[in-house]
Structure 1
Amino acid sequence: MGIFLCLSGILSFLGVLVISKKKISQQTALKIFTCAAFIGLVIFSGCRALDVGNDTPMYVRYFNRVDGLHDISKYQNRFEFLFRVFVCAIAQFFDSPHALLFISSLVIIFISFRVIYKNSVTPWYSVLMYLFLMFYYNSMCLMRQYIAVALCMVALSYLAEHKWIKFIIFVVAAGLFHTSALVVLIMLPLMSLPFNKGKKWWYVVGAVGAALCIDKLIGFLVRLFPRYAHYLNSEDYYLQNQIGTVIKIIVWALLFFVVDYVYDRYSDGTYGEKLEYFAALLGFSISLASLQGAILSRISTYFVIMFCISIPNALDKLPVRKTKYQLATLIMAGCFAYNMLIFVFRPYWSGVLPYTFWK
């Protein structure tokens, strides 16, 4: 835990340095922050021991059982096609499963950073949210899904630019890493809906209503993603972590309120704002529904990760500078408190503790 606390402390200090008016320019400070964040996150994730991360041992076993690209057909009932290609391609050139962990971490973090730095008005703030809201730690536990999540971030970035074909291609590619990613295709019809103050509350009511009618939605998801149906009745994942699910719902609800409040009053009505709003609404409503089905908590990740972009973008629209900084500080303090709450009181929720370096 000490390693991650030190990493968080260093990045927080560098983040403050970016906005301070000290001896170095803001641009130079941002470059230092970016290099430190990227290198630090890749090293701690990519060089972790083979048993760090809930699902890591499963992927290590799979890597050890394949011997290059001619083994792509193995485990086709367990793993999606592109993930099998990804693992077998690494096994073609490397014998150690550490290569799988390092390359997958490099891919996830590089893509996530690229999307963040392209779409966030305050990228260093977004990176800290990515860390403090546990997305970074979850990526070590759910390697396959987080490659899909990163690809969906790219897809949503293209959708914000009206590039629908590229959006579909990247979502389908993500689905070939983790089938659940196909749920992101729902953003395509949603983006055709009107985006104005009068309509948004109807969307909120409809989303919350759908979350309350969860039984039918769960049945649909089981038919759509049958291989993940066992999560619905998993005592280890659902019952023991129900408190964690409630805490997540509160966090996503508060962040959605910030996005909704700011966009309701200061929105420019752009297509990108519309995408960020619907992603925030879907993330909150799906997480709310996860009280009755743990699989939905994982599915909400495809949308809630966009808070790392929509929150700083929303804060940037606040007209009063003092209010902007106060709210930004409050939100970041809340994210840090959420991170510390898990590490101190429920460390096993992180999935990466106890952490061991390269074993």
Structure 2
Amino acid sequence: MAIYYVSIIGYILSYFFISLIKQELKIAGDGLFVGLFVTIFGGVSAVRTLSVGTDTETYGAIFSLIGTNHDLHDMLTSKYPLYEFYNYLLYQVSTSPQIIIAANALITTLLVGIAISKLSSSFFFSSLLYITGYYYFNSMNIGRQFLAAALIMVGVAYLLERKVNLFWLFEFLAVLVHSTSLVGVVFFVVYIIHWSFKKVIVFIVSILSAFLLIQKVMPILLMIFPDYALYNGENSVLSLASQSNGGQIYVYLLYLVITIVGVLLLNNYLNSRNKKFVFLNLIMIITVMLGLVFSKQILISRFVLYFSLFAVIYIPNVVSKLTGIFRLDSHERFLISNNFNMMIVVTMLVPMTVQLVRNISGVVPYLVFWS
């Protein structure tokens, strides 16, 4: 477990060192930070043995099965054809299951890093929240879905840049990796609506009403996603019931407090061109409402993942907007924003540690594949 804390400390120290180099050489952009993020956290995930992550061995077995027994027809008729083809190509490079574990880890971390660099007001704090929010550790377990979720994150980044075609490209790729990413259509619907305060209220009421219908909708969801029938309850190996016991419910409560602050600031941006802040608020409303109400429903939690990932981008943006309402000079605003963000990151370390101690997602003990 110590490797995870060492990685965080190493990342923080390296980040500040790179910041000094960027400032000295006047290098713009977050490219170096994305590279650091992928190198440290993607690297740690990539070299883990198959025993790290509850479903990691399963992904290794699927990789071997695809490489040895599947042909073009099997891939075209698969529920996740792109993921099968991707496995098949990697099998031509190496027959060791370690290659799919490493590729999933590096590609997912890279995509998340790119999305953060495009959307967040602070790459540093958003990247740390991705770790302390336990997303990173869950990515070592449900790797295929996280790959799809990361694709959607990048797609949404392009959507908010008004590059709609690129959004649909990434959404399409995500669906070919994991069927639950069909939920990505919600992001487009939220984006195209011209929001007013009344529409936001109707939006919240609509979600609350949907809660009352969820048990009737559940059979339909299971028809669309039959593979998740075994998760329809509280007895799965990885469930939000166990995650809540590990402190995840407290994370959602923290998200709720921050979202309330964001909603209070929202009225200042509804009629502006800043669609990103309005969009992120609505996504977080979905996240906290579904996350809190269905904290013990694993099937719903798989859908919530696509929305909750945006918390790592939303939180620094809320802090930035909050400090912006006060009459502060740029230096004061910078210091106060950083202090607020760091307090949140440190707070998130508590449920992260509890979940690691409880070994949520099976990431403890950590072992490298050559050990």
Give the TM interval when normalised to the shorter protein: 0.7 to 0.9
Report if aligned partners of 2:48, 2:369 keep a CA contact under 8 Å in 1: yes
> Counterpart in 2 of 1:355?
366
> Counterpart in 2 of 1:209?
209
> Counterpart in 1 of 2:330?
none
Q: Which amino acid aligns with 1:110?
A: L
- Distance in 2, matches of 1:42 and 1:84, equals 22
> Counterpart in 1 of 2:329?
none
Deviation at residue 127 of structure 1 after TM alignment: 0.6
TM-score (normalizing by structure 2): 0.84
Q: Which amino acid aligns with 2:369?
A: W
Q: How many residues align?
A: 357
Task: Give the 3-state SS of the residue equivalent to 2:363 in structure 1.
Answer: coil
- Distance in 1, matches of 2:338 and 2:229, equals 44
Report if aligned partners of 1:148, 1:178 keep a CA contact under 8 Å in 2: yes
8-17 or 329-338, which deviates more: 8-17
Q: Which amino acid aligns with 1:328?
A: N
Report if aligned partners of 1:46, 1:102 keep a CA contact under 8 Å in 2: yes
> Counterpart in 1 of 2:317?
313
**Map 1:105-254 → 2, pairs under 5 A:** 105-236=105-236, 237-238=238-239, 239-244=241-246, 246-254=249-257
Is residue 343 of structure 2 the alignment partner of residue 330 of structure 1? yes
Gaps of 5+ in 2: 327-332
- Distance in 1, matches of 2:130 and 2:90, equals 27
> Counterpart in 2 of 1:259?
262
Task: Give the 3-state SS of the residue equivalent to 1:286 in structure 2.
Answer: helix
- Distance in 1, matches of 2:69 and 2:265, equals 50
- Distance in 2, matches of 1:209 and 1:13, equals 47
Deviation at residue 295 of structure 1 after TM alignment: 1.2
Please provide the CA RMSD for this pair: 3.1
**Map 1:58-97 → 2, pairs under 5 A:** 58-67=58-67, 71-74=71-74, 80-97=80-97
Report if aligned partners of 1:68, 1:90 keep a CA contact under 8 Å in 2: no
- Of the three residues 330, 334, 341, the one matched with 2:354 is 341
Q: Which amino acid aligns with 2:227?
A: R
> Counterpart in 2 of 1:54?
54
- Distance in 2, matches of 1:308 and 1:149, equals 14
Gaps of 5+ in 1: none
- Distance in 2, matches of 1:220 and 1:74, equals 26
Report if aligned partners of 1:175, 1:182 keep a CA contact under 8 Å in 2: yes
Deviation at residue 50 of structure 1 after TM alignment: 1.4
- Distance in 2, matches of 1:197 and 1:316, equals 21
> Counterpart in 2 of 1:299?
303
1:217/1:254 Cα in 2 relative to 1: closer, same or farther (>3 Å)? farther
- Distance in 2, matches of 1:50 and 1:169, equals 32
TM-score (normalizing by structure 1): 0.87
Deviation at residue 351 of structure 1 after TM alignment: 2.4
1:129/1:72 Cα in 2 relative to 1: closer, same or farther (>3 Å)? farther
**Map 1:26-37 → 2, pairs under 5 A:** 34-37=34-37
Report if aligned partners of 1:287, 1:300 keep a CA contact under 8 Å in 2: yes
- Distance in 2, matches of 1:218 and 1:25, equals 56
84-93 or 60-69, which deviates more: 60-69
101-110 or 67-76, which deviates more: 67-76
- Of the three residues 259, 279, 283, the one matched with 1:279 is 283
Report if aligned partners of 1:263, 1:314 keep a CA contact under 8 Å in 2: no
1:69/1:122 Cα in 2 relative to 1: closer, same or farther (>3 Å)? farther
Task: Give the 3-state SS of the residue equivalent to 1:186 in structure 2.
Answer: helix
